Structure 1
Amino acid sequence: MAISDLRRQYTLGELTEEQLTAHPIALFNRWLQDAIDAGIPDPTAMTVATVASDGQPSQRIVLLKDVSEDGFVFFTNLGSRKAAELAANPKVSCHFPWFFMERQVRVCGTAEKLSLKENASYFLSRPKDSQIAAYASRQSQPLSAKTALLSQFSQLKQKFADKALPVPNFWGGYRIRPHQIEFWQGGKDRLHDRFEYNLAEGGRWQTQRLMP
């Protein structure tokens, strides 16, 4: 069968005007909880897109670690490609691909660094092996062989076997402050439901239905 022939109907639900909330985060939290309750793999996984100085976009999957009306939070190595691109251009887009529920959410906003206190609070809550991995990996840098990374991880694990790791200054989080959020619900015969929230003056959100 040709890839172009692969298709199916989307019949799991619909999104109506009556289901919308005044603030998009309230609807997002409802959908996120639905994804968690449904037991889909990695419900907090989101694709984050940044843009390099030459205009080349880049995407990667990270895990959402907090969400509030202030925005969406994730953590990374501050020497990574994404961090370098955000330093030059903080405009960012992220995408939640809840395909198993025939839903997706697209977010556009501006990324800002978290405070040192916020970074420390989350880093110290991570499993110790995850903390060690953050020290072992110079994220996005070339690696001669995986054995080199595993050796570095093993050495650090032995070094910090009986003591706590300090919070690294090369690791931290970002909060994406949204100005646009779109909710997409698959529909029969490709008549999908799409609603876009846009942040207006005064901090109010305006909504509009989009063509599928």
Structure 2
Amino acid sequence: MTQSLADMRRDYTRDGLVEDQAPAEPFSLFQQWFGDAVQTEQAPVEANAMTLATVDADGRPHCRVLLLKGLDAQGFTFFSNYDSAKGQQLAARPFAAMTFFWPALERQVRIEGRIEKVSAQESDDYFQVRPLGSRLGAWASPQSQVIADRQALEALVKATEARFSDSQPHCPEHWGGYRLLPDRIEFWQGRSSRLHDRLNYHLSQGLWQRDRLAP
């Protein structure tokens, strides 16, 4: 196993990323790269899938894969249960990092910054366009808590279906959106011989600065 893993490698030759191809601020480049990913990545890969890293009150890091659900000039939005493990971690330390990896394009984007909750109206607007099963699940699942077995979860779902049999489930208070307000965004383009292109944007006194990082 060790030898087979050591032999797994791929030479990246698809594209490059140089300064004269990059804008002065990072959001337009992310929009461009995200659009490329939507057009290029094939199922089961989801272009908006990203790894979210948080830190708990003891300084221990945690990672999981989520889906990006909003992007604007303020930042990057995702939704979750506020009482979940990640919700408790973000309440204790409101900072996070995101990583997007698009293998077909040989590209990666790393984003770091402060976390804030979106407004209750934004959370409700998104909640209402979710499939019914997802809305019921947000009510039924005590996310991150220990449950007895699968049957216990299914029983919670059935009870929730009965509760909302005559009405549409509204957005629960324990569920909603977070927005990551970035202060650092790094764009990584795979290159041959591991001499990758890395352009790093960071906020300095309210303005975006751009640097090239060694691979």
Q: Could you tell me the TM-score, scaled by structure 1's length?
A: 0.96
* Deviations 1:180-206, CA, capped at 9 Å, x for gaps: 0000000011110000001111x2211
Equivalent of residue 73 in structure 2, options 69, 76, 82: 69
How far apart in 1 are the matches of 2:137 and 2:157? 6
Equivalent of residue 118 in structure 1, options 118, 122, 133: 122
Equivalent of residue 208 in structure 1, options 202, 206, 211: 211
* Deviations 1:7-26, CA, capped at 9 Å, x for gaps: 11101111111111122010
Task: For structure 2, list consecutive stretches of 5 or more residues without a partner in the other structure.
Answer: none
Tell me the equivalent position of 2:15. 13
Q: Which moved more, 1:103-112 or 1:144-153?
A: 144-153
Residues 41 and 104, structure 2, Cα contact 8 Å, conserved in 1: no
Residues 50 and 66, structure 2, Cα contact 8 Å, conserved in 1: yes
* Deviations 1:141-184, CA, capped at 9 Å, x for gaps: 01210111112112322432342112200001100000000000
SS in 2 for 1:15: coil
Task: State whether structure 2 residue 187 is matched by structure 1 residue 191.
Answer: no
Tell me the equivalent position of 1:157. 161
How far apart in 2 are the matches of 1:61 and 1:46? 5
Residues 129 and 157, structure 1, Cα contact 8 Å, conserved in 2: no
Tell me the equivalent position of 2:133. 129
* Deviations 1:81-113, CA, capped at 9 Å, x for gaps: 111011111111111011221100000100001
Question: Once the two structures are aligned, what percentage of the paired residues are identical?
Answer: 44
How far apart in 2 are the matches of 1:194 and 1:159? 52
SS in 1 for 2:129: coil
Task: Count the aligned residue pairs.
Answer: 211
How far apart in 2 are the matches of 1:11 and 1:181? 23
Q: Could you tell me the TM-score, scaled by structure 2's length?
A: 0.95
What one-letter code is carried by the residue in structure 1 that aligns with 2:117? Answer: K
Tell me the equivalent position of 1:169. 173
Instruction: Tell me how large the CA RMSD over aligned residues is.
Output: 1.1
Task: For structure 1, list consecutive stretches of 5 or more residues without a partner in the other structure.
Answer: none
Matches of residues 80-95 of structure 1 in structure 2 within 5 Å?
80-95=84-99
